[in-house]
A and B are shown apart, each in its own frame.
Chain A
Amino acid sequence: MASGIKDKVAIIGMGCSKFGERWDCDSEDLMVEAFEECIADAGIDYKEIQAAWLATAIEEIHVGKGGIPLSVALRLPFIPVTRVENFCASGSEALRGAVYAVASGACDIALALGVEKLKDTGYGGLPQRSRGTLNSMWWANYSAPGSFAQLATAYSTKHGIDPAELKRAMAHISVKSHANGAKNPKAHLRNKITEEQVLRAPTVAEPLGIFDCCGVSDGAACAIVTTPEIAKALGKKDMITVKALQLSVSNGTEAGHNSWDGSHFMTARIASKRAYEEAGIRNPRKEIDLAEVHDCFSVTELVTMEDLYLSPEGGAVKDVLDGFYDSDGDLPCQIDGGLKCFGHPIGSSGLRMVYELYLQMLGRADQRQVESPKLGLTHNLGGAPHQNVCSVAIIGRMGV
């Protein structure tokens, strides 16, 4: 087996814009806002960046195609800039590109930046996207909430869980994330909510109500990566390194073969297993200190806890209701507020998650600070439960 990415690349700087309805900002403003924080944190000159990856998913409603928007916004010195898109895992893909470039020795210092400007469409909810000439002729017309909602029907059917009990656990997830987001100045939604509010909210897609859905917002996040040797030479003491970067992409089995039961993500199970192996983690429930998962919808977070092997299969409802993933639980999940409170500017979400882990590892998370975390996990899902891409990244202190 390949030796993997563990501890081969260090993160020396990160930045994250304020997420929200940034009516006053173009994508250019968001990119610069995140980058200014990042480059100051890294303590290098921007001309030392040798290659960059730009993540953005729905480019047609903001920056347009290619790597040019990033290069122009930051006036990068004619370096290679690659634009990546892989649904909601786009931000993690940018990081993967930058990390692999450094690990390969192709360059010393690389930038990964994700940005999305969703709020220029004129309507609420995720913007509609083109799906390709053939898909649009036979794929069901569906929305993200409607496709993810089906996890709930499948999950309660499979595990014999009363839909009302499942709905209560889903509500707990949203209440928990809002409590966390309320403490985060960069979050979009900073209000605490109650279980009763969640349960009473209008339905978006059966059985998901408004509070089961993450927000829609604008935002950018970025990371500068290099080798541990260069990081050390730059004077970095608390070294945060990449332990694993994995990606699993559906091959159509779930959508077209009767072997998948609709209650979980095949990709997440595969990607997380590979990531734990790459990072040398044997017992993720014990070893992972923090998780930032793709809580596009409350039910997604719930089944993801099992797909990441953090909760036993069929046991996520109990763990959630027991507070295992609360800020004071054994494994705080979405300590920054998650997609629920940050919204999901698609290209930036993966990097926003890494940003929180990075702050937490360095003890810079202020009111949200968890006691000395060493290993954290980020997880992104793009597409729909029956056909998706899933990325899992593990970030931690050097040598852990």
Chain B
Amino acid sequence: MIGLTAFGGYIPRLRLSRKSIAEANGWIQPGLRGLAKGERSICNWDEDAVTLAVEAARDCLSCESGGPLAAIYLGSTTLPFADRQNAGIVAAALDLDEDLSTIDITSSQRAGTAALVAALDAGGTTGNILVVASETRRTRAAAQQEMIFGDGAAAFTVGTDDVVAELLARHSTSVDFVDHYRGQNRDFDYNWEERWIRDEGYLKIMPRAISAALEKAGIDGGAVDVLIAPATLKRVPEKIAQMTGIAPEKLADPLDGAVGMTGCAHPLVLLSRALEDAAPGQVLVVASFGQGCDVLVFRATERIADRKPANGVTGYLARRREETNYNKFMSFNELVDREKGMRAELDNQTALTQLYRRRDMLFGLVGGECDACGTHQFPRSRVCVNPNCNKTNTQKPFRFADVPAKIMTWSADHLTYCPDPPLHYGMIQFDGGGRFLANFTDADVGGVAVGQDVRMMFRIKDFDNQRGFRRYFWKAAPVQAGEGAIDG
């Protein structure tokens, strides 16, 4: 049996109220006012498709029981690097064994399902595969897509043992139907007419593929418990359901009111969300649209009942802070050339030799544990930091990324350049020992205190806009009420 062995997701904490978008742009696009309901997820300034992928993967791996991973397939159309494997950054942040196959899958809104299809097609012959879909699509200010889109990620492990959702069948079609495109080196999509996309695209391409998949699975539409067929246009999923013999009430909540369309990640975000509630035996159909259609038909197994990620999509939906400042969203996405001050001019060139030498430290947050005295320390050093030990060459690797920590001291700094001032940072102490002065992320003014619980999150540390590089490192995020511990 091949199928999904674990699932997880991640939705960034900031949710931009659509009303704030309409208030800012309604004067030039009055039509936006009709879309000004609910909110959409937006990345914090230090999040991108890679950091979202890392969090979704951590969430997924928190409930994964299988052996070592053989591969990571990362699906996204908004990866930060055009030539530097993004899946490799995810693998390093997860501190995975380097004997691993990593692949970026991109260039289509089917990139997420394509990654899943590829992993399932491998049939478990290589070992478990981690599939992550992650998306952070930029749009022009006042574009309708700005209202509709959201940022998010989902992750699954695919294998043959301990399966929670068995693959019954899958079907793919390839149709060069160009509803939109984004040329090489272009920032934004170019979109064709919606009515044509609906009539000739969604409603012709998707039902045909879904029906073919159901036929391969040997079931009809009436046997489907959950249908995931996200579309950017209203009422399209309902019509697709009708056309494939599936009751429209079987459609999964598209999360359009709370998140928005998370691009190629969206079918998988919805699948991950649906698996949280799935009962054994339920049939779930997930279909994606993008120059053709991928359809996967799953049946939940008995194991679904006791396999839940630390937070899941639902947990991350609850880990939420409303943002009503559209200007901030514009700045984070560089939709406006806002004055940053001279302190932002600091040259952030990265010594790649240095980065590589200390990659386990910088990507994996791997420090040291002293063999002689047991002291945990970051970074790992040649001489133990414990003043009562100070022994040389005694440290073995110790990963801090999943260790809970507390704030010992902190400040909110208005002087240091930060895209979202004030910059919060402070000394954090890990349970069981070890500390370092860390930048905080997802911290609110007035919401930071000594003794507060924090957990580590992989984020962008600095941008090197002069060279098109970005540095990643781990930051401390205040733990929100109800947030699950990542102990994967």
Contact = CB atoms under 8 A, between A and B. Distances in A.
B425 A121 contact: no
B408 A262 contact: yes
Contact of B409 (A133, A258, A259, A262): A262
Interface residues of B, number: 49
Contacts of B173: none
Contacts of A123: 341-343
Interface stretch (A24-32, A72-80, A146-154, A164-172): A146-154
Contacts of B471: 137
Interface in B439-464: 439, 450, 461-462
B435 interface: yes
A142 B435 contact: no
Interface string A149-181: 111011001000000000000000000000000
Contacts of B184: none
A145 B415 contact: yes
B410 interface: yes
Nearest to B426: A150
B416 interface: yes
Contacts of B343: 123, 125, 128
B354 interface: yes
B36 interface: no
A78 to B, nearest CB: 37
Contact of A145 (B350, B355, B378, B413): B413
Interface in A166-224: 202-208
A137 B412 contact: no
Contacts of B426: 150, 153
Nearest to B389: A257
B415 A143 contact: yes
A122 B409 contact: no
A282 to B, nearest CB: 27
A146 B415 contact: yes
A251 B386 CA distance: 10
Interface string B380-416: 0100011100000000000000000000111111111
A172 to B, nearest CB: 21
Given A139-B437, A257-B375, A150 B461 contact: no
Given A141-B418, A142-B425, A386 B342 contact: no
Contacts of A205: 411-415, 422
Nearest to B451: A157
B399 to A, nearest CB: 15
A105 interface: no
A1 interface: no
Interface string A242-277: 000000000111011111011000000000000000
Interface in B316-343: 341-343
B351 interface: yes
A71 to B, nearest CB: 30
Contact of A154 (B341, B408, B417): B408
A206 B436 CA distance: 19
A153 B361 CA distance: 29
Given A123-B343, A141-B462, A145-B415, A153 B409 contact: yes
A150 B410 contact: yes
B168 interface: no
B366 to A, nearest CB: 12
B427 interface: yes
Contacts of B408: 154, 261-262
Contacts of B434: 256, 258
B28 interface: no
A233 interface: no
A134 interface: yes
A134 B429 CA distance: 21
Nearest to A386: B437
Nearest to A259: B387
B416 A256 contact: no
B413 A128 contact: no
Contacts of A255: 435-437
B267 interface: no
A137 B473 CA distance: 7
Which 7 interchain pairs have the tightest Cβ spacing?
A: A146-B413, A150-B409, A149-B411, A133-B351, A206-B412, A256-B385, A205-B413
Given A138-B473, A141-B423, 6 more contacts: A125-B415, A138-B361, A146-B413, A154-B450, A257-B435, A259-B387
9 contacts: A134-B358, A140-B425, A140-B436, A141-B439, A146-B415, A157-B450, A205-B413, A205-B422, A252-B381
